[in-house]
Chain A
């Protein structure tokens, strides 16, 4: 090792003592979001900025509203009759609840992966090709083949299934099915991927593969993940928002939340003192 001069040492010490600050652009901006199921208020005025190309974890005890909030981000709550959303949610500056917004397009831009893998009862190829076809993203069969291959590759599944693309998607293992669902979401060129407990039905190996994938996907997509596993939130996310009783208790970078949270409710929850 080269000998450092005292000045160099001082500079290195200064560099080490400064926490690295990454410039973050806000991808999703939500203000005063309320969600009602009939008379019951499930989300009570949430303000949350979700940074672009980062993984944001939503944590909190069951019934705290984190999944409800996640579902607001691609208007999945529209499918529930008694559900009403107020407030403002913008993605890239566009109000997604504006009447002019096409919900089908929105859900292509904001893809979603669910708790239980839910491939269509079709071939692996068709599972991925379906979205691009109905959205008219492929002009030819070659285009479509390319989208399918790229999506499966990005989802880390291509090498495992390339020889049996015609086999039914439902015949894959749980972990592979979940990656197939991720490939299906990616195929329609989203910019945001929402994940609602994507690993809760998977074994530790499949979980590790999906977590690795989440880390790779972060390069191209903004990811919002709901998880009940504190360790998973600590491993995969850069930002964490703690929900409790329909409110955000604390929102900070993940390292801070899991080493030195400022709110007692966060501390109690993540250390297993309630919830």
Chain B
């Protein structure tokens, strides 16, 4: 949208900017929930876990707001071309970001159950995985705000890193459970948390695809990119 001029009807610009602003706000909120949830999990901070859970409600209402605004713009302006992609993109992005919030909330709920009883080595693994996912989410949201397609593609390509870290963490947790059956309960919870973090990474790639669509008007990865298509299917 940056390279285009202003609409003749200035209210149209304001409506579109309003929606973009809300998406950015949602992104910030989702990042916060995720950070709080994982921090609560690792430190056994029950209050922080509750904050993360409550924060998800805010995200849900922001999503409803974005969707309502998008429907109104379609009704009032009958958008076409990039404006249309912007609106369709906003609807998709709000769904993906809202899901990131839900996954964060799931982690916060596990944090309440586990209550700090985590093996330090396992905690390290989760922390590493979360750092990777957080970075992906941050990068992809920056890419949206700055309309940086290259950066979005970079996020898309880096998802495989999260997948492989998740797989090794998965094996590591299995080992702990085999070593000490008393760890089964907490390690199972951690496995769910790790899966949630890995899914957050997948949503970051969805967002990257949507950014590409908004800016280029084409699907990403391009047709014929067999490897890419197959990877895209993991979401």
Q: Give min CB distance, A55 to chain B, whole Å.
A: 17
B8 and chain A: residue at smallest CB distance: A272
Q: Give min CB distance, B17 to chain A, whole Å.
A: 14
Q: Tell me if A17 is interfacial: C-beta within 8 Å of chain B.
A: yes
A257 and chain B: residue at smallest CB distance: B81
Q: Which of A231, A271, A274, A275 is B81 in contact with, Cβ under 8 Å?
A: A271
**Once the chains are docked, how many angstroms separate the CA of A167 from the CA of B12?**
48
B contact patch SS: loop
Q: Give min CB distance, A10 to chain B, whole Å.
A: 11
**Once the chains are docked, how many angstroms separate the CA of A62 from the CA of B138?**
46
Question: Quick one: given A17-B223, A260-B217, are A271 and B82 in contact (CB under 8 Å)?
Answer: yes
Q: Tell me if A214 is interfacial: C-beta within 8 Å of chain B.
A: no
**Once the chains are docked, how many angstroms separate the CA of A29 from the CA of B48?**
71
Q: Tell me if B9 is interfacial: C-beta within 8 Å of chain A.
A: yes
B8 touching A267, Cβ below 8 Å = no
Q: Tell me if A92 is interfacial: C-beta within 8 Å of chain B.
A: no
**Once the chains are docked, how many angstroms separate the CA of A259 from the CA of B8?**
20
**Once the chains are docked, how many angstroms separate the CA of A206 from the CA of B141?**
46
Residues of B that sit less than 8 Å from A by CB: 3-9, 12, 77-85, 216-218, 223
A271 touching B7, Cβ below 8 Å = yes
Question: Quick one: given A258-B81, A259-B85, are A271 and B218 in contact (CB under 8 Å)?
Answer: no
Q: Tell me if A234 is interfacial: C-beta within 8 Å of chain B.
A: yes
Contacts of B81 on A, CB cut-off 8 Å?
A: 257-261, 266-267, 270-271
B217 touching A259, Cβ below 8 Å = yes
A274 touching B5, Cβ below 8 Å = yes
Q: Which of B3, B83, B217 is A271 in contact with, Cβ under 8 Å?
A: B83
A274 touching B8, Cβ below 8 Å = yes
Q: Tell me if A217 is interfacial: C-beta within 8 Å of chain B.
A: no
**Besides A258-B80, A272-B7, 10 other A-B contacts (C-beta < 8 A):** A230-B78, A257-B81, A259-B81, A259-B217, A268-B4, A271-B4, A271-B7, A271-B81, A272-B77, A273-B5
Question: Quick one: given A231-B78, A259-B81, are A267 and B223 in contact (CB under 8 Å)?
Answer: no
Q: Give min CB distance, B234 to chain A, whole Å.
A: 16
Contacts of B4 on A, CB cut-off 8 Å?
A: 264, 267-268, 271, 273
**Once the chains are docked, how many angstroms separate the CA of A270 from the CA of B12?**
14
A270 and chain B: residue at smallest CB distance: B80
Chain A positions 1-47 with a Cβ under 8 Å from a chain B Cβ: 17
